[in-house]
Amino acid sequence: MLEVRGLTKRFGGLTAVDGVDLDLAEGGISALIGPNGAGKTTCFALITGFHKPDAGSVRFLGHDITGEKPFRIARAGMVRTFQIVQPFAGQTVRENIAVGAHMHLADRAAALAKAEQVAQAVGLGDRLDRDAADLTVAGRKRLEVARALATEPKLLLLDEVMAGLNPAEIRDVIPVIRAIRDQGVTILLIEHVMQAVMELSDHAWVLNQGALIAEGTPRALAADPTVIEAYLGHGMAARLAKGAAHA
Ligand SMILES: Nc1ncnc2c1ncn2[C@@H]1O[C@H](COP(=O)(O)OP(=O)(O)OP(=O)(O)O)[C@@H](O)[C@H]1O
């Protein structure tokens, strides 16, 4: 479904994304993980057209979409969410979601009806007439997912939808993401909450300093010394193993 080859982005002297290759099959939930500043969000921005790569290519559903505008990529069926949610203040939850629905629906009533349906799916059905600016952090995160979902994506890129949520809110949002997958939407997520990565994803890639350093099941990656080193620093995997041996 998605083939990324040699994807590279430099910001001045910093190579934020460095020769990344990804192959994502249709169906399921995958994750892109890695420490702060690893280049995850930049990868999403490159894949969805918000940044132009310095090198490399992106193919989606068999078409080369490298350097295409975000709107065209979204129309083709791939959308991303943003870490910092900025609802259109002064507009209701329904109207905010309808903005996404207008991607395929020109008719206002149809877009509003679609918004209502999507709001139910993400658990915002009881807040349709609220001003979007009044939503809690957890509500705003759901709104962000809803706006993306209203565009009827085939591939949904979720950027840290659990960030800022408490454990109970995380527990509540996990089934929402599963339900989206069950409707046939393929999902790639960036997530720091490892519990969520473990519970949701079948496969994960680990990015560190712009480059992919490992891939596999989340469970295998959590025990991989290279991955532990990337998160916790040099020598940590050996120290942890030593600690475990003495325990
Ligand atoms: N527009 C930009 N201009 C300059 N540097 C940037 C820009 N965007 C990102 N960077 C830098 O590129 C690197 C990768 O950033 P990115 O946000 O992609 O990482 P990340 O893995 O998503 O991090 P986090 O988990 O903290 O969100 C960082 O060093 C960041 O400071």
CA 143 to chain centroid, in Å, comes to 14
Domain 2-246 architecture: 3-Layer(aba) Sandwich (3.40)
pLDDT band at 103 (very low <50, low <70, confident <90, very high): confident
How far apart are the CA of 162 and the centre of ligand 1, in A? 19
The edge-to-edge listing of strands for the beta sheet with 78-80 is 78-80, 155-159, 186-190, 29-33, 203-208, 211-216
Please give the pLDDT value at position 6.
Answer: 98
- Find the mean pLDDT for residues 14-41: 94
- Please report the atom of ligand 1 found closest to the CA of residue 51: 1
pTM (predicted TM-score) = 0.89
ipTM metric: 0.95
| Strand-strand pairing, 186-190 and 29-33 | parallel
How far apart are the CA of 23 and the centre of ligand 1, in A? 22
- Please report the atom of ligand 1 found closest to the CA of residue 39: 18
Contacts of 222 (CB under 8 A, 6+ apart): 194, 198
Please give the pLDDT value at position 240.
Answer: 57
- Find the mean pLDDT for residues 219-244: 72
- Site residues for ligand 1, CB cut-off 6 Å: 11, 14, 16, 34, 36-42
DSSP state of 118: H
Please give the pLDDT value at position 235.
Answer: 58
Reply yes or no on whether the pLDDT at 186 is more than 80. yes
How far apart are the CA of 41 and the centre of ligand 1, in A? 7
Residue 95 has phi, psi (to 5 degrees) of -65, -40
Task: Give yes or no for a contact between 150 and 113, defined as CB atoms under 8 angstroms apart.
Answer: no
- Which residue's alpha carbon is at the smallest distance from atom 31 of ligand 1? 37
136-163: pLDDT as tens digits? 999 999 999 999 999 999 999 999 998 8
- Cα–Cα dist 184/153, whole Å: 10
- Please report the atom of ligand 1 found closest to the CA of residue 45: 18
- Find the mean pLDDT for residues 7-36: 95
187-222: pLDDT as tens digits? 999 988 888 888 999 999 999 999 999 999 988 888
